[in-house]
Structure 1
Amino acid sequence: MSTQRKMMAADAKLANKIVELAKRRDSTVFKTVNDILEEALRADQMGLSLSEVVDERETFEKAKKMGFTFTIEKLLYDVVDLAYSKNKKGISEMWLDTGRWYGKYFSNRSNDGIDTFAEAMDLMTIGNSVFNIEKTRGDGIRVSCVGESFTPGFIEVYSLFMEGVFEAFGMNLEEKENSEGIIRLRFKRSG
């Protein structure tokens, strides 16, 4: 049984990389190219480009390496809210300390850690919440997070987590405004 074939043009450097890929996988160039094309078409049927699929996979891999886990959003908020109502001091210290730990972690990964932290927060806010870090004049940072499902307890401890992170970055909290579903924090470099 023979399969019909059709020739397609490709950049020579890319074609050579496909040949190398096929060799590494102990496959043929024909099969490797067809596998790639099938996955590109599958991504297109999902309304995505192949690069979007790869980028999202990379995001999940980064999240795993950072120790993040995925959970049911509403359940997370409700459990945190319940724990906060039962033990405000203990839960608050836990989230602040965890923020400090992650702040040190991100500081060690790059010069100031802020950009790396912003990338991580993009990973954590995959659901319906929106996270934004904005550098202001001087050495200031403005952080805002909006989540329509945030519970009051979650808002309190999540803002403490961010306070801990920025404390580890050598920044002081200048302003804090928490309201229903919204966290706004402003930090300034200490010293």
Structure 2
Amino acid sequence: MGENEVGGGKFVPISEATLKQIEAASRSENYSIRKFIEEGLIGVIRAYEMGYPPSKLVDVLEFLRIHDAFGGLIVPRAIFSEILKIKFNGQEKEYLLEKWYECGRWYGASLRRSSDDPISTFKLYLMSMGWNLNEVEVREEGNDLRLVCVSSTITAEETEILSRFITGALFGMGYAIKKEDIITGMIILDCVRGGTNNQSLKNE
């Protein structure tokens, strides 16, 4: 279906089902259909200019919704780094790492319920939430998945915390960890969907 130019503007055909959704949403917001569409398109363009294509907008909003529902806070990286310098004894450290793992499980389970593609949404979350990751790579083949996170700046402590969080999230999304390779600044996890031999770093 093409576009028709009329009076300096364009008519772009859309499906009847989509139009009905737009009509309902615009009435709910007390907008005209034209204003609703124009503001929506302006928002899409602004997001695109910030590096988020239209296909990723729902994913961004989804993990922000989950972050808010979980009571997430925005903590400056400098403060977070200072907290990590606190010396905990073995039991205290393990308790905190377990909390990060459980937090990841909650995020993963929430994404599994609400996202059409939870792994892609989670990848975007990792890239967008201040972990200073240079690379997040996901390879899927059948039921197997490899997740690779690389950062040239995060510390050993941050790597350990992040790996616990990711392991929990993968568990929440229904994956079992088959193999893991974790060094400062690099996390490599090989997983299988629907496996029963789930493990976290605490079991290493």
* Paired residues, number: 169
Shift of 1:182: 1.1
Q: Which residue of 2 aligns with 1:131?
A: 136
Find 1:143's aligned residue among 126, 144, 147: 147
CA distance in 1, matches of 2:165, 2:79: 19
Q: Which residue of 1 aligns with 2:76?
A: 72
Structure with the greater relative contact order (CA < 8 A, sep ≥ 6): 1 or 2?
A: 1
Q: Secondary structure at the match of 2:49?
A: coil
Q: Which amino acid aligns with 1:143?
A: L
User: CA 1:60/1:105 → structure 2, altered by over 3 Å: closer, same or farther?
Assistant: closer
CA distance in 1, matches of 2:174, 2:56: 32
The two structures have a TM-score, normalised by structure 1, of 0.64
Q: Which amino acid aligns with 1:116?
A: P
Where in structure 1 are there 5+ consecutive unaligned residues? 1-6
CA RMSD of aligned residues (A): 4.1
Shift of 1:166: 2.2
Q: Which residue of 1 aligns with 2:200?
A: none
Whether 1:97 and 2:102 are equivalent positions in the alignment is: yes
CA distance in 2, matches of 1:107, 1:47: 26
User: CA 1:59/1:69 → structure 2, altered by over 3 Å: closer, same or farther?
Assistant: farther
CA distance in 1, matches of 2:48, 2:119: 29
Larger radius of gyration: 1
Give CA-to-partner distance per residue, 1:2-53, whole Å, 9 cap, x none. xxxxx51311658xx8xx76x94369x7xx5xx86xx69x95xx9938x958
Where in structure 2 are there 5+ consecutive unaligned residues? 1-6, 197-204
Q: Which residue of 2 aligns with 1:181?
A: 185
